[in-house]
Amino acid sequence: MNNKPKLRIGLIGTGFMGKTHVFGFASAPKVFDLPYEIELHTVADISEEAARKAAHDFGFAHATTDWRDLVNSPEIDVIDITAPNALHKEMALAAIAAGKHVYCEKPLAPLASDAEDMAIAAEAAGVKTQVGFNYLCNPMLKLAKTMIAEGELGEIRGYRGLHCEDYMADASSPFSFRHDPAGGGALADIGSHALATAEYLLGPITEVLGDCITMIPTRPDAQGGTRAVQVDDVGRAFVRFANGAQGSIEGNWIATGRKMQHDFEVYGTKGALSFSQERFNELHFYSTEDAVGRRGFRRIEAGPDHDPYVRFCVAPGHQLGFNDLKAIEVAGYLEAIAGLRAEPFGFRDGLRIQRLVETIQASSKDRCWKSVPS
Amino acid sequence: MNNKPKLRIGLIGTGFMGKTHVFGFASAPKVFDLPYEIELHTVADISEEAARKAAHDFGFAHATTDWRDLVNSPEIDVIDITAPNALHKEMALAAIAAGKHVYCEKPLAPLASDAEDMAIAAEAAGVKTQVGFNYLCNPMLKLAKTMIAEGELGEIRGYRGLHCEDYMADASSPFSFRHDPAGGGALADIGSHALATAEYLLGPITEVLGDCITMIPTRPDAQGGTRAVQVDDVGRAFVRFANGAQGSIEGNWIATGRKMQHDFEVYGTKGALSFSQERFNELHFYSTEDAVGRRGFRRIEAGPDHDPYVRFCVAPGHQLGFNDLKAIEVAGYLEAIAGLRAEPFGFRDGLRIQRLVETIQASSKDRCWKSVPS
Amino acid sequence: MNNKPKLRIGLIGTGFMGKTHVFGFASAPKVFDLPYEIELHTVADISEEAARKAAHDFGFAHATTDWRDLVNSPEIDVIDITAPNALHKEMALAAIAAGKHVYCEKPLAPLASDAEDMAIAAEAAGVKTQVGFNYLCNPMLKLAKTMIAEGELGEIRGYRGLHCEDYMADASSPFSFRHDPAGGGALADIGSHALATAEYLLGPITEVLGDCITMIPTRPDAQGGTRAVQVDDVGRAFVRFANGAQGSIEGNWIATGRKMQHDFEVYGTKGALSFSQERFNELHFYSTEDAVGRRGFRRIEAGPDHDPYVRFCVAPGHQLGFNDLKAIEVAGYLEAIAGLRAEPFGFRDGLRIQRLVETIQASSKDRCWKSVPS
Amino acid sequence: MNNKPKLRIGLIGTGFMGKTHVFGFASAPKVFDLPYEIELHTVADISEEAARKAAHDFGFAHATTDWRDLVNSPEIDVIDITAPNALHKEMALAAIAAGKHVYCEKPLAPLASDAEDMAIAAEAAGVKTQVGFNYLCNPMLKLAKTMIAEGELGEIRGYRGLHCEDYMADASSPFSFRHDPAGGGALADIGSHALATAEYLLGPITEVLGDCITMIPTRPDAQGGTRAVQVDDVGRAFVRFANGAQGSIEGNWIATGRKMQHDFEVYGTKGALSFSQERFNELHFYSTEDAVGRRGFRRIEAGPDHDPYVRFCVAPGHQLGFNDLKAIEVAGYLEAIAGLRAEPFGFRDGLRIQRLVETIQASSKDRCWKSVPS
């Protein structure tokens, strides 16, 4: 009864993000009129038990402990990588070499040079890619982008962007791969979201002045000792945008009490926007065109007027959840695979974020402004 | 690979709520470890085209224009009714007679007497039922209920509950089945949610003093004329709870600007709670046990500590959406069908809400306090 | 250098409200161009020490323990009564008989019949009166009233007004004059503010259905025993306004955690307002005339566009405080004494509030709707 | 009856800030038990009419057009300077030379070197000084400082401070003294408040990395032409505190829609604070010591527990206004003059702010980190 072509997914990794991807694959076809029927073909995990359990729980037909099985299978169209960051490059390059489309969780790779290799390979092979910056899929961010693009705020002058959480605030939480230089630190891990949102809304950042700080110098290791932390707990930058605006960015994983402070404010000549991911179904809008004595930040609640909210619910105010953002991401990616639109956020975009992160880190180290390579 | 027994769904109705149910069926198995494998068997709609399209879009194997096909099919286990309210009773009784479990959108029936027939039939047949009061599935409401039950607020004294929207605020919006006495009006349509939440949190309401008002006396009909509206646009009640608390309830569908003002406040001897569905991933808690000079309403953000949030996301602050509440509802219902728990909100509970609505309406008409039949 | 006529004040009472009045007398002349020079002439308190201390601290020239000294003094123009409610009538009538203007803290009198005697006497004597409903002096309330009057919300349909605090939430707080029937209870004490605001904004309430509840039936007395409480801890009403709108009102002094929940919401055909005294320098405004997809409640911050804010500060967002409201009240009263405007809120208005309170209490007792005497 | 010694005030300047000071002088004696009786002796303005009007309106006994009259008068104890910034130094030095105490509006002087001359002169003369950083007088800031000092947040790690408004957002608003290099720009004008609050709470800033930007390069002049603006519209800095914390600061006068965004967030190992001057009677507090599943930012409303709120009002939640902060400032200053306490914020403190501003400006110009001279 369903005559759509199948798109067969091979998922690598079954953790937090793997599960989130599966939620996206499950709900996207119900919410959107996708160009493909999604088939959950095989899931890979290093542990056989985890792979089997994931196959069972998530509805994959097959399980494997060797991710290369996925890459080599002629029955799989998309390789979905939610494995640790350090493995992204090898997996993605292998998948690209096998002609697969690649969906990769963020960050694309620990180093921009690796990310660049991945982007170039994908482009050369003509496969479609997606990096999981799902906060960008929020209808309220699309609304913000539209309002900015259509001049509702006038000329943009200023920006302030944050992504602060507290999951590393406890100094006794043990050293992990995230504290390894390859893990990148707070700026790379979550400041990257703030950077992605900033460029999504205002376009390219051209110059940065960074300040990356390690506040918790050592953390317990698994052997009962301590290990020196080399990555930043807080990473900030002053920035300049190509459109003439200026602003600041902060990534911070020791912000006690903050669970999802992915916030931004945009100031233009005619208006302003204020947003917090803590209440991500709202966008606050100030317009100088409102009548005198009647001006103020207006709390716009997400509703059917804000694409693609209406696909989830025909009535306003009902609210999307985090996993719904993943469904939007999946839908956009499938449309890109079908050639119906450009990649929403492909490897080239993921590379861009790594470039920004590395430029800020270099600026912090050298204690001076740096131009961002284009 | 999946050895769970199948639970085969027959869905009647393909509109707003039908779609929402499908979202729940799609995501619940990924989020929860359900006792059954859900099979979307057949979807029914009066229009053949709508039925076929729904089957295609939603992933049902079959489509029909006759809901009786579902009821009569030996291949279907659960009849899911999202058809107009006036049809719920006939459909549900037929399904119960055929030994099916019945999942019915709210309100259970326009009249409490009908709802009672349905509840009695279901109990007699031993089938499991569910009525779709999905706001009750919010982890933050479960948290509120737990806090109240465990005495964190002390003895409960006061309650204020609302459900206000503006979808009928425009006097030029045409007369519809919702304006028919059988439709019930604002109190029945959405005030019912406020009543459900009130009893979910505090237990039975014993007495009510109602005030139901029609503010827009006529609405345009399809013939270019107008038609008198006989239902309330605003329905309120003062209430007494069996636990000794007092309070008020309001349902209102002409509250200009309100999209989802399903709010409550609970006041106890030791603390208070404040909640708004406009920001339903938060619960505000005041405790007199906090230190002097440090007291205030505390904004608790939903997270893994608030069951069953963690099934959706392992990190706090990511937020559930409206459709996620439906997944929780589906999961609870399936567990009830499997005998693992009591019905979360069965026909008996749906009847209860209708009783409350009718008692308030009668109180308003007779302009005096009424006891709520138990 | 100052050629204004003097207005000589005699203050009775030196407690919370007496002090607040003095703040108003001190700041009003600096803020406003008043028609009189205020002279703090004499202060009266039953304790000689309190009277002397108040004279010293507040800057009165004289002190007395006999309030009749003030009434009889030819050197005093205005008698300002902040003594306990039960004494208001006797003091006011004596002052009126002596031809003094009378400024009286709310409530005007425990009984409407007493308040009526006072209003009639004042009108017969031609003296100017003021009752201290200072929340009405907020520039944001004036803005709200203006917006309603000028049709910015369209036709008004609905209203919800509260005044909830928690100063009587502790059941061990001792029996006081406020728990005496003459004290009136929560509805009279603070629900009266909610009533005053409702009529200030929407005009007369014509019908009420009351619900007054005593939740803490006894309180400790000074002798180590307990004493029965006969007044309401919570007083509510459903109301009808002469303008066709309907709504509800609540006064509540056991709302744990609430310090100043004097809130209202107004719903019209074209817009809505939402306000909380907890943040009384803001008014939230929703307009259906905003563009589609850009609508939302707009947080208007008090500023120079909102009369008389600019008298306090020429820049927006700096905020008025509670005592500033008293300065506005004083200024309005002095202008009324000078014949420059009508009494902002005279004894006739104070009587009106008592009538509303008593009608709601009677409605609650008789358990039926009551018309409010005009 | 009042035996306190008199403190005779000579005020220079009758504009926005002059008026605010007068409000402070008027209300402080009513609110606090001051060590002096304040006498408003003489007011000076360059315009005779303005001076006379101010004397009349504000209650000064005398008026003059020559500020030197005040300095030279043996009848005046305190010279209160609210004249344009460029005149502060000359006036203050003359007053100090005459042995007067000096109360000076912020900024103390355009250049730190001037401010230093002033501070040294005052200290040498032994007169008491006060600079008008009135936001520091907020009871909620005192609460925040106390909580930090007493370890309620644990060890402080991070800080984010803003002071953003939009009074210069309109590019057509004319060139004024504020746009002159001596005026200092947004960082000096309002970013200085953010700096003052930061050091008030956390102690000295030791290093800064500045970024000062002119976004509106020219403004209309009075001759119908345009004039180049040399000061910053946005001034930011990354900062290090002596206590080991790191953070950021922003001053911005082109933040469209913002009227009083004087905000801060403080993150410690055990808790966090969040504050906005937009709602300055609230402080939000997160504590990791709250129970699991019950944590969240707690909205503490100002009340009698927060010194010196109780002097204004004995009941919580009534709120202070902007002018009340000035009364607190006046009271603190008078106590310092009487030797009862240290200067709350004297010339040495005002100099400190200028040093911070200049160091940030120099850092921005030189594009590198700078140590802040102690």
- Residue C66 is assigned to a structural domain of this protein: yes
> Inter-chain contact C158–B271, Cβ cutoff 8 Å?
no
Q: Looking at the structure, tell me whether residues B222 and B107 fall in a common domain.
A: no
Which 3 state secondary structure label does DSSP give A298? strand
Q: Which of C103, C134, C165 is the last residue of a domain?
A: C134
CA C176 to chain centre: 21
- Residue B341 is assigned to a structural domain of this protein: no
What's the CA gap between D117 and B142, in Å, rounded? 65
Q: Which of A110, A134, A158 is the last residue of a domain?
A: A134
- Measure the CA angle with vertex C73, ends C72 and C74; round to 5°: 115
Q: Looking at the structure, tell me whether residues B97 and B167 fall in a common domain.
A: no
The answer for residues whose C-beta is within 8 angstroms of residue A161's C-beta and 6 or more apart is A194, A195, A197, A198, A247, A248, A249, A250, A263, A264
β-bridge pairing A6-12 and A37-44:
parallel
Q: Which domain holds residue D294?
A: 136-335+346-366
ipTM, interface predicted TM-score of the complex? 0.96
Residue C124: both structure tokens together: 């017969």
Residue B225: both structure tokens together: 């004329």
Contacts by B215-219 with C-beta closer than 8 Å and gap 24+? Answer: B215/B254, B215/C157, B215/C158, B215/C246, B216/B168, B216/B171, B216/B254, B219/B171, B219/B172, B219/B173, B219/B174, B219/B175, B219/B179
CB of B162 less than 8 A from some CB of A: no
Subunits with 3+ Cβ pairs within 8 Å of B are: A, C, D
Mean pLDDT within C270-280: 98
What is the phi/psi pair of residue A102, to 5°?
A: -130, 125
Instruction: Let me know: does B9 contact B82? Beta carbons within 8 Å.
Output: no
Number of domains composing chain D: 2
Mean pLDDT within A29-44: 95
> What is the rounded (10 degree) CA torsion for A147, A149, A153, A156?
140
The band of B1, judged by pLDDT with boundaries at 50, 70 and 90, is very low
Which portions of chain D are predicted below pLDDT 50? 1
pLDDT for res A1: 42
- Residue C268 is assigned to a structural domain of this protein: yes
Q: Looking at the structure, tell me whether residues D65 and D201 fall in a common domain.
A: no
What's the CA gap between A256 and A170, in Å, rounded? 9
Which H helix or E strand runs over D18? helix D16-31
User: What percentage of chain B carries pLDDT values higher than 90?
Assistant: 92
pLDDT for res A2: 54
β-bridge pairing C6-12 and C37-44:
parallel
What's the CA gap between D353 and A228, in Å, rounded? 37
What's the CA gap between A77 and A71, in Å, rounded? 9
Q: Looking at the structure, tell me whether residues C118 and C236 fall in a common domain.
A: no
The band of B57, judged by pLDDT with boundaries at 50, 70 and 90, is confident
For residue A194, the domain's CATH number is 3.30.360.10
pLDDT for res A361: 96
Question: If you measure CA to CA, which chain D residue comes closest to A154?
Answer: D256
Q: Which of B134, B155, B186 is the last residue of a domain?
A: B134
CB contacts < 8 A (A, C): 48
- Residue A372 is assigned to a structural domain of this protein: no
**Chain B residue numbers touching A278 (CB-CB < 8 A):** 301, 317
What is the phi/psi pair of residue B59, to 5°?
A: 90, 25
For residue B114, the domain's CATH number is 3.40.50.720
Q: Looking at the structure, tell me whether residues C187 and C84 fall in a common domain.
A: no
The band of B2, judged by pLDDT with boundaries at 50, 70 and 90, is low
CB of C255 less than 8 A from some CB of B: yes
Closest residue to B300, CB basis, from D294, D303, D305: D294
> Inter-chain contact D298–B306, Cβ cutoff 8 Å?
no
Q: Looking at the structure, tell me whether residues B315 and B191 fall in a common domain.
A: yes
Q: Looking at the structure, tell me whether residues C295 and C201 fall in a common domain.
A: yes
Q: Looking at the structure, tell me whether residues C124 and C180 fall in a common domain.
A: no
In 10 A of CB D254, how many CB atoms?
A: 24
CB of C289 less than 8 A from some CB of D: no
Per-residue pLDDT of B251-297, as tens digits, reads: 999 999 999 999 999 999 999 999 999 999 999 999 999 999 999 99
Per-residue pLDDT of B286-340, as tens digits, reads: 999 999 999 999 999 999 999 999 999 999 999 999 999 999 999 999 999 999 9
Please choose, from the candidates C53, C45, C46, C54, the residue with its C-alpha nearest in 3D space to the C-alpha of residue C20: C54
pLDDT for res A222: 87
Instruction: Let me know: does C17 contact C105? Beta carbons within 8 Å.
Output: yes
pLDDT for res C181: 80
> What are the beta bridge partners of residue C287?
C271
The label of the residue with tokens 């008593």 reads: C358
The band of B129, judged by pLDDT with boundaries at 50, 70 and 90, is very high
Residue D77: both structure tokens together: 């104890």
In 10 A of CB A233, how many CB atoms?
A: 26
Choosing among C298, C299, C307, C309, which should be mutated to test the A contact, i.e. which has the most A CBs within 10 A?
C298
Q: Looking at the structure, tell me whether residues C94 and C241 fall in a common domain.
A: no
What's the CA gap between C63 and D180, in Å, rounded? 55
What's the CA gap between C103 and A337, in Å, rounded? 77
**Chain C residue numbers touching D314 (CB-CB < 8 A):** 16
pLDDT for res D221: 93
The band of A374, judged by pLDDT with boundaries at 50, 70 and 90, is confident
Residue-by-residue DSSP string for B53-97: HHHHHHT-SEEES-HHHHHH-TT--EEEE-S-GGGHHHHHHHHHH
Question: If you measure CA to CA, which chain D residue comes closest to B139?
Answer: D293
CB of B209 less than 8 A from some CB of C: yes
pLDDT for res C1: 42
CB of D248 less than 8 A from some CB of A: yes
CB of A301 less than 8 A from some CB of C: yes
- Residue A1 is assigned to a structural domain of this protein: no
> Inter-chain contact C246–B234, Cβ cutoff 8 Å?
yes
Residue C178 pLDDT exceeds 80: yes
Residue-by-residue DSSP string for C317-357: T----HHHHHHHHHHHHHHHHTTSS--SS-HHHHHHHHHHH
pLDDT for res D85: 86
The answer for residues whose C-beta is within 8 angstroms of residue D209's C-beta and 6 or more apart is A209, A211, A367, D237, D238, D239, D363, D368, D369, D370
Residue D162: both structure tokens together: 């803003």
In 10 A of CB D365, how many CB atoms?
A: 11
Q: Looking at the structure, tell me whether residues A150 and A237 fall in a common domain.
A: yes
- Residue A317 is assigned to a structural domain of this protein: yes
Q: Looking at the structure, tell me whether residues D98 and D238 fall in a common domain.
A: no
- Residue C47 is assigned to a structural domain of this protein: yes
Question: If you measure CA to CA, which chain A residue comes closest to C152?
Answer: A294
CB contacts < 8 A (A, D): 98
Q: Identify the weakest region by mean pLDDT among A58-62, A307-311, B117-121, C247-251.
A: A58-62
> What are the beta bridge partners of residue A162?
A250
CB of A175 less than 8 A from some CB of B: no
> Inter-chain contact D305–B299, Cβ cutoff 8 Å?
no
Where does D253-295 show beta strands of DSSP type E?
263-268, 271-276, 282-287
The Cα-based distances of D234 to A238, D158, D176, D190 in angstroms read: 12, 22, 17, 10
Q: Looking at the structure, tell me whether residues A253 and A163 fall in a common domain.
A: yes
- Residue B74 is assigned to a structural domain of this protein: yes
Residue C5 pLDDT exceeds 50: yes
Please choose, from the candidates B65, B89, B81, the residue with its C-alpha nearest in 3D space to the C-alpha of residue B11: B81
B244-275 as b/e: b if 16+ CB within 10 A: ebbbbbbbbbbbbbbbbbbbbbbbbbbbbbbb
> Inter-chain contact A158–D295, Cβ cutoff 8 Å?
no
pLDDT for res D1: 42
Residue-by-residue DSSP string for D137-183: G-HHHHHHHHHHHTTTT-SEEEEEEEEE--TT--TTSPP-GGGSTTT
